[in-house]
Amino acid sequence: MSCGAVVAAPAVVLSLILDLSVTATSLLITLPAVAYTMFGGVQAVTWTDVKIMVLIVVGLFAVIATAVLGYPADVSMTDGLAVAAATGRLRVFDFSFDLTNQYTFWSGTIAALFLFCSYFGTDQSQVQRYLTAKSVDEARYSLLMSAYWKIPLQMLVLLLGVVVFTFYVFNAPPLIFSSKADQRLRQDAPSAYAALQQEHVAALAARRETATAVATATRAADATSIEASEQQLAAHDASVSEIRNRARELVRQTTGDTAFNDVNYIIPTFILSQLPVGLVGLLILAILLAATDTIAGELNSLSTATVIDFYRRWARPVASDAHYLAVSKGVTGLWGLFACVVAVWAAELGSLIEVVNRFGSFFYGSVLGVFILAVGVPWATGNGAFIGLLAGMATVACAAAYTDIAFLWHNVIGAVAVVVVGGAVSAFGRR
């Protein structure tokens, strides 16, 4: 399911840029990945990673530079960051120990530790890279490179979001970033939509004026003016957000799509409307290649696990290597089709960065718990680990359904439940 969510993110971007449905762009991403995974295997996946990384980084810098250059002439990047900070976009640390808050210092250090230990230590898509290394040292180096590169790349992505937000503070954004939803409202709810647009224009003008005041006060280092203008900016930004929320609700009422959210269309809209044509083409290429590369690793690992752990073990224990290779190619195609179906569904679930992590958090903690049992609990048995795994996933499902606990903590809940239940079942089973 995480593989499908990974497909959904670039599929939404490409659907807006190429004016195609999410289903069509999901197939456009998945089919090449299935093809070169089937015929190239893990070696093709690994070598493609290296080349695409350069395109991704270049694309990120291009979007950031375009956004900053779109600021008013007297507004620097430092001024833009001050504007973002005044609206709460640069709040790095939240030390409140609130399990319902998605992003706090504690969820980022404790809960995310469980997530990353599971992802980098137990996920087949990562382990297959270690197993193809020439030596143990190279495998360790690969793991360290992933860890050290992940932080600056995530910071770069977060910076991109900040500068694009600031760009739209000084340049009027659309009320609804989904062009199809915008057209639907113009046709089916013209009066209500026009009234919201008038409110939006007025709120944007007030926000832009106070943002300019924040930038001016920041350059002058006038503490009194900074505090007053920041309070006004926060209020006007909240007003803009409230109007956008009402517009989204109007879309839901008009279309019947109760899950509608245009958050995934903000960056694609910026790319399509602000970047030069040649650069848009480069980014389309980067997005397409990065997407196919990412899911290729997932498809290869899913195919390998399916054939080795299930088909070879239970269906055909004895067969030729050629037979298993042919089966793995067919299984890769089936997993690719499943990823497309999940992608179309996941595209409607809100921010896709969160969707990917939500899906992962349902399983990663429980899988980590099984590995902890195997390595750290001497009396653990296979039956105990299996029952613990089921208990862990059931506990996470209950936590997600009946509590407001943030999804990152699901990794901790799953791991602890597996170790406790699996350890207890193993201990009683040995008696």
Is there a domain that residue 170 lies in? yes
Is there a domain that residue 104 lies in? yes
User: What average pLDDT does range 134-160 have in this prediction?
Assistant: 83
Q: How many CA atoms does the CB half-sphere of 423 hold within 13 Å?
A: 14
Residue 43: the pLDDT is: 55
Is there a domain that residue 420 lies in? no
CATH assignment at residue 204: 1.20.1730.10
For residues 332 and 45, the answer to whether their CB atoms sit within 8 Å is no
For residues 294 and 6, the answer to whether their CB atoms sit within 8 Å is yes
Residue 67 contacts by C-beta under 8 Å, 6 or more apart in sequence?
160, 163, 164, 166, 167, 270, 274
Is there a domain that residue 411 lies in? no
Residue 46: the pLDDT is: 56
pLDDT tens digits along 259-294:
788 888 898 889 888 988 778 877 777 777 777 777
Is there a domain that residue 164 lies in? yes
Pairwise pLDDT comparison (384 vs 280), residue with the higher score: 384
- E strands, 32-140, in order: none
The count of structural domains within the chain is 1
Is there a domain that residue 427 lies in? no
For residues 38 and 336, the answer to whether their CB atoms sit within 8 Å is no
Is there a domain that residue 144 lies in? yes
pLDDT tens digits along 76-135:
999 999 999 999 888 878 888 889 888 899 998 999 899 888 888 887 777 777 777 778
pTM: 0.78
Domain of 61, in residue numbers: 2-89+97-348
Residue 238 contacts by C-beta under 8 Å, 6 or more apart in sequence?
none
Is there a domain that residue 252 lies in? yes
End-to-end, the C-alpha distance of the chain in Å comes to 39
pLDDT tens digits along 155-208:
898 999 999 999 999 999 999 998 889 999 999 999 999 999 999 999 999 999
